[in-house]
Amino acid sequence: MLGSKKYSWVNLIIHRFKEYTLKGIVELTQKNNGDSIFEDDWRNLIILDDCRYDIFKSEYIKRRLPGRLEYKISKGSWTGEFLLKNFTDKKYDDIIYITANPFVDKYLKGKFYKVISVWKNGWNERYNTVPPNKVYEQTIKTLKKYPNKRFVVHFLQPHHPYFSLQNFEDNAMNIIKNSVEKNHSMSLSGFPKEPLHSIYLSEIYAYFSLSKLIRAYIENLRIVLPYVELLLHYLPGRTIITSDHGEIFGKPVTKLLPIKVYGHGIGRIPDLVKVPWLIFEEEDKPKLRPIKDIKKDIARIEKRYMLHESSKQKELKKIKRAISQLKLKQKI
C-alpha cells in the first residue's frame, strides 16, 4: 500500500496536547449558534457526510440540479455532535434512519421507528467504507416496504476514505465501525508526524498533498451525487439535501491559537459548519435528469471503482460476519 505509516507515541502525545488545548479554547470562546434540522418541514432528509457548502454549491451549479439551494449553520463540527444536538426528543416514531455511518447506532439507539445500519452488511473491504450504491439500494427497498414513513438517508461520502486513492489503506472509518460493533472506545497506538503549527484531525493529511486530497474529496462528492439524483426521482414529498458538518483544509479555528487545522471536529468556522441546504419539492421532479442518463453515470462509476462485489467476496464477508457474531457471543 502507498506510504509507509510511521506512527509513534511521541507524535501522538504532541498531537493530543494540541488537540485538547485547541478544544478547550474553542469551548470557552465560541458559541454553538447552529440551526436545527427541524426548523424547516421535510418528508425526507439526505445527509452527505462531511460536505462543505462551497464545494457542494459548485457541483450543484455544474450539474444544474433542480431545487433551491440555501445554507445552514450546522449544530455539529463532527457527526456525533450533529446527531446529539439535533435529535433531542426521546423518540421519532415516524422516521426511519438509513445510515452508512456507525455513529448513528452509537448515539441514537432506540430513537427512531427503525434504524437500518447499512454499514453492517454493505461494508466494502476494498475501500473500508460503505459505497453509495449500498445506501441507495437499501433506501429503495425500505421505501417500498414503508411508503408512509419519513426518511433520513445518511451517505458516508464525501467523507474519506477516498475512492480515487485506491493504493492507500485508510482505516479511519474501520476504527469507528469496530469500536461501535465491539462497544469500546476508539484508541490509537501512535500518530504520524505533523508540523508543529498544524494539527491533522484526520491522519490522511500526513500522507498526501492538500491539493491531491481536495481533488479526492471532490471526486467522492461526484461519486455520490448521481445516487442522490436517482433517489430524488422516487422519494415522495419535500426532500432536503444537507450535511452534518464540513471539512477544514488548513485554516486556524481561533486567533488565540493560530495553528492550521485539517479535518473536522474542532471549531465553528464557516468551512466546518456552513453546510448545504438544498430544498427539493415534488414539483421539481420533472426538472431532474432522465433516469436512464443518471444510470449511465452510475454504471460508469461502478465499473471504474468496482463497487459491486463478486460472489466470492460476498461469501468471504458472510464468513467474517458469522465469526464476528460468534466472538461477540463468546462462543469461540
Q: Model confidence over 20-51: pLDDT tens digits? A: 999 999 999 999 999 999 999 999 999 999 99
**pLDDT grade for 328, boundaries at 50, 70 and 90:** low
Does residue 196 or residue 50 have the better pLDDT?
Answer: 50
Cβ partners under 8 Å of residue 198, min gap 6: 250, 259, 260, 261, 262
| Beta carbons within 8 Å of 299's beta carbon, 6+ residues apart | none
Cβ neighbour number for residue 320 with a 10 Å cutoff: 12
State pLDDT tens for residues 293-312.
999 999 999 999 999 865 55
Hey, which residues does 92 pair with through a beta bridge? 112
Q: Tell me the fold of 9-328.
A: Alkaline Phosphatase, subunit A (3.40.720)
pLDDT: is 327 or 111 the higher one?
A: 111
pTM: 0.92
Q: Return the domain boundaries, the chain.
A: 9-328
